Amino acid sequence: RISSMLNPHPPNLMFPIMILALWGILMTSSICLRQTDLKALIAYSSVSHMGLVTAAIIVQTPWGLTGAMTLMIAHGLTSSALFALANTNYERTHTRTLLLVRGLQLAFPLMSTWWLLINLTNMAMPPTINLLGELFIISTLFNWSTPTIIITGIGTLITATYSLYMFLMTQRGSISTQFRLLPPTHTREHLTLTLHLLPLGLLIMKPTLISGLFT
């Protein structure tokens, strides 16, 4: 929808949207750091990543469009996996408040592994396609305007911070006494998370499947 408005480039429309997209990366990332609701944190995380996608699409270069497509697919899988994890917590604790669901690593060690892997994916750690998409986008914005590296760099740093914050708040610490008897995790839940992470791991072996349209 954005691409159709920006062909050819109307400067009077391009720059305000670019400013909002770049500023939105910082603002929504910062909001994640003060969230107490787990699902709200994940939702704001998605908004932050889509700020990168919007900025890349507005530049209208092959690298930008490739990065936008790659990051949209990568974050679609990552965000869905995070919501699935949040739902497994909610089904057992019946609360989304981060302060009340601490220490779940003691009760669900395998699920804690999924939390770690998916949070690392959300941070765009190698070898996931999230990293590929973000590198394309950051390079595109840097070529468009050098100072954007400051905003994208700070945004990446804050993303890493709130991802670690989400993992530590849900998995580490002492478990609440009201959650002593928690039902175990199910095979279907682990299968669901596997089907999210497997494509993210395999697509990096042949990223042209999703990014070759514009290169």
Give 179's DSSP letter: G
pLDDT of residue 43: 92
Q: Which H or E run includes 21?
A: helix 11-32
Q: What are the beta bridge partners of residue 97?
A: 37
Please measure the distance between the N-terminal and C-terminal CA atoms of the chain and give it in whole angstroms: 21
CB 62 within 8 A of CB 28: no
Identify the sign of the CA torsion 196, 200, 205, 206: positive
pLDDT of residue 158: 93
pLDDT of residue 41: 92
pLDDT of residue 215: 46
pLDDT of residue 155: 92
Q: What are the beta bridge partners of residue 37?
A: 97
Q: Look-up: residue for tokens 């100072």?
A: 147
Q: Look-up: residue for tokens 């949209």?
A: 72
Q: Give whole-number Cα distances, 62 to 58, 66, 120, 131, in Å.
A: 11, 6, 27, 17
Kindly report the backbone phi and psi dihedral angles of residue 96, in degrees, each rounded to the nearest multiple of 5, phi listed first. -110, 5
What span, in angstroms and rounded, lies between the C-alpha atoms of 118 and 122? 6
DSSP code per residue over 114-130: HHHHHHHHHTT-TTSHH
What span, in angstroms and rounded, lies between the C-alpha atoms of 215 and 207? 11
Per-residue pLDDT of the chain (215 residues; tens, 9 = 90+): 666 666 666 666 778 888 899 999 999 999 998 888 999 999 999 999 999 999 998 888 888 889 999 999 999 999 999 999 999 988 888 888 888 888 788 778 888 999 999 999 999 888 889 999 999 999 999 998 899 999 999 999 999 999 999 998 888 877 777 766 778 888 999 999 999 999 988 888 887 777 755 54
What span, in angstroms and rounded, lies between the C-alpha atoms of 114 and 117? 5
